[in-house]
Amino acid sequence: MTTEETSRFVRLRVELVVEVHDEDGLRRAAVERIAGDPETSDAESAQAVSVVTEDTAEALASLVDPLDLVSGVPGVELQQASWSCERIDHDPDSPEWDLDEDDGGDDGEEAGIG
């Protein structure tokens, strides 16, 4: 493909597994972020606080901002993002968690730190 035929859009896939050592601290931080958002109505804030105090994964998701991943990268503008968090069982010694394993993508371009 020539430069003219190549899309300017790139899908960046990132998968993280984090270990939460302080669920209460995580939930407090999520509640503080919600309380500090002037664009959120009282009803929306109350609902969001209820969700993040009941679910640690939701608290984490509310604190993660994909824009932070690319905001300092020159020549890049975030066009669309989606993300989610869920509780999982994690065994770092299991072959299932091999970060070098091919994810089945067909784009042929992969970079990782491991």
Asked whether residue 112 is domain-assigned, the answer is no
The pair of three-digit structure tokens given for residue 112, joined into one six-digit string: 């990782």
Asked whether residue 58 is domain-assigned, the answer is yes
Asked whether residue 87 is domain-assigned, the answer is no
Predicted local distance difference test score (pLDDT) of residue 93: 81
Rounded CA gap, 6 and 102, in Å?
Answer: 24
Predicted local distance difference test score (pLDDT) of residue 4: 62
Predicted local distance difference test score (pLDDT) of residue 2: 58
**pTM of the complete model:** 0.70
Helix, strand, coil shares of the chain, percent, nearest 5, are 40, 0, 60
Exposure letters 44-70 (e unless 16+ CB within 10 A, then b) = eeeebbeebbebbebbbbbeeeeeeee
Element (H, E) at 31: helix 23-35
Asked whether residue 84 is domain-assigned, the answer is no
Regions of the chain where pLDDT drops below 50: 105-114
Under DSSP, the state recorded for 3 is: G
pLDDT in tens, 18-32: 999 999 999 999 999
Asked whether residue 35 is domain-assigned, the answer is yes
Owner of token pair 């994909």? 66
The pair of three-digit structure tokens given for residue 98, joined into one six-digit string: 């091999």
* Whether 57 contacts 30, CB under 8 Å: no
Asked whether residue 102 is domain-assigned, the answer is no
Domain of residue 60: give its range: 21-64
Asked whether residue 28 is domain-assigned, the answer is yes
Domain count, the chain: 1
Asked whether residue 38 is domain-assigned, the answer is yes
